[in-house]
Amino acid sequence: MSKILLVGDDWASLERLGAVMEGFGYSIEIILESVDVERAIEADSNISMVVLQENMPVLNGYEVADLLRGNPDVSPSLPIVLFVHEYPPYRKLEGAGISEVLHVDAELHDMQECIIRHMEQYA
């Protein structure tokens, strides 16, 4: 079964987001430490998407995406979605290898469309 990895430092919002994604039929895993993302992906071959919160201690969402894109053991086509409070400049996203950006206040149908689109492309 495809699994979505949720990464951030706000447990409550990740849990809410995870419940929404489980409602769409996906399995989820939540990680609170950005530095543990690579290890989680390498340990679980079912991870088909990574969803990052923008602002996290140690490594922010852009840095985690950049780290994943630079790891030869992580598929370059793995979708990475970033949840933001303000939309960043396109150049910043492109440089980090982020697949898509969603605003933290995105509508449920926008989240669902994003997930379905990227999960279908990755499958």
Structural domain for 65, as ranges: 3-122
Q: Is the pLDDT of residue 1 over 70?
A: no
* Separation of first and last alpha carbons in the chain: 11
pLDDT attached to residue 85:
85
Percent with pLDDT over 90 in the chain: 46
User: How many domains are contained in the chain?
Assistant: 1
Which pLDDT tens digit goes with each residue over 88-98? 777 777 778 89
Phi, psi of 83 (to 5 degrees): -95, 125
Which pLDDT tens digit goes with each residue over 18-57? 998 898 889 999 999 888 998 999 888 889 999 999 988 8
Q: Which of 57, 115, 40, 50 is nearest to 76 (CA)?
A: 50
Cα–Cα dist 87/85, whole Å: 7
User: The CATH number of the domain where 13 resides is what?
Assistant: 3.40.50.2300
Percent with pLDDT over 70 in the chain: 98
